[in-house]
Structure 1
Amino acid sequence: MTPLQRATRRLAAGHRLNTTHLIGWVTEKHEPKSTLARSAVLAATGWILWQTIGRTPGILWAVVLGWIVAAWRTTKPAPAEKTAPAPADTDQQSIARWIIQRIGDRPGIHLAELYPAMRDLDGMAEHDDTALRSALNELNITVTRSMRVGDVEGRSGIRLKDLTPLLSPARKTTPSPDGDAGQESGERPESAGEQRGEEAKAA
């Protein structure tokens, strides 16, 4: 569709809308007396305008131009709604999303598998197990004392179901006073020796 065709259609639509609005104003109250009175006002205005044009034909162009402008403005496109930008991930949400990608379709991931992958992240190549575990604790990432992933069980790891709630923007976590953040009751926190030996188990 050419620009001229679009403009013509817009003016035609505006003409119809303005006519509809004018008729709606006449019959707005749905009362015979009101409708008759408004019809009389409209007729008188039209008669006066017609007489004026008869004496001063140049006014006709002003009337036509005014109607065209009104039709054009009536069909002015509504401004596009501005959507609020999605809030950026927090550090906790970023690492949770990254770990979820490592987990894939499994129920979770053992720390023995996660730690080597974490060392590939920027600035973490020299971190030992203790430093990596401390980083998880600071971000309140729940570490389960003993869990099964595939055929391997009895090792510490992170469960998928503990990570997915963290991706909610309204989610707020606070450090647990005992053990790891979010540690479920009944789960025993790892000792420092268990943390250091985690990768040795996987060997």
Structure 2
Amino acid sequence: MSALQRASRRLVHGHRRLIRNTTQWATALGNPKSTAARSAVLFGAAYVMFKAIDRTPGVLWLVVAVWVIAAWRSAPKPPTATPAETPAAGPASPRDAIVQWLTDTIGERPGIHLYELYPAMRLLPGMSHHDDTALRGALTELDIPITRAFTIGDVKGRSGIRLADLTTPLPSREDQPLSKGEDAGETPCSTPEDQPESAPSSEGDPVPAV
């Protein structure tokens, strides 16, 4: 709606409100005598105004200007437009997005083991058909540090991601040692991602295979 249309609507609403207020003033007391007296006052004022216009036509413009101003002021003010809420800034990069997701998934724990993380990752959009190797490759590509053999609660000796590593600035790639992509207990022929991990032992930490 243009500004001219909004102004026209406001004047129309104000004009109608002035007429309604004038009518209500005449009948406000609900007494026939008072209504007649007030109506007579209104008709007398109208008669004087028309006589003045007849003698001095320029008065008409003054009357119109006064009526327009009164209508404008009596019209209900348009609702103040509330500024649109600024959308929350999204993650700056894919790594920031996965770090935020991992942080929320870990919660108040010190970290999360890969055997628990992989099923959660497959619930993400487009990740349902990825195997463990592909999921680990995605974490590596996004520079998510994977720690070998650390303990979370009663589960010991499993590879996973520590919460503290997610908030630590990444070292320069030139300073990082070359990773063989192995997890705790891994042999050259098999990886924990390629086969189901065994249930945590209650007798103590598992002995890594040589």
TM-score if structure 2 supplies the norm length? 0.47
**Greater length-normalized contact order (CA 8 Å, ≥ 6 residues apart):** 1
Structure with more helix by fraction: 1
- Structure of larger gyration radius: 2
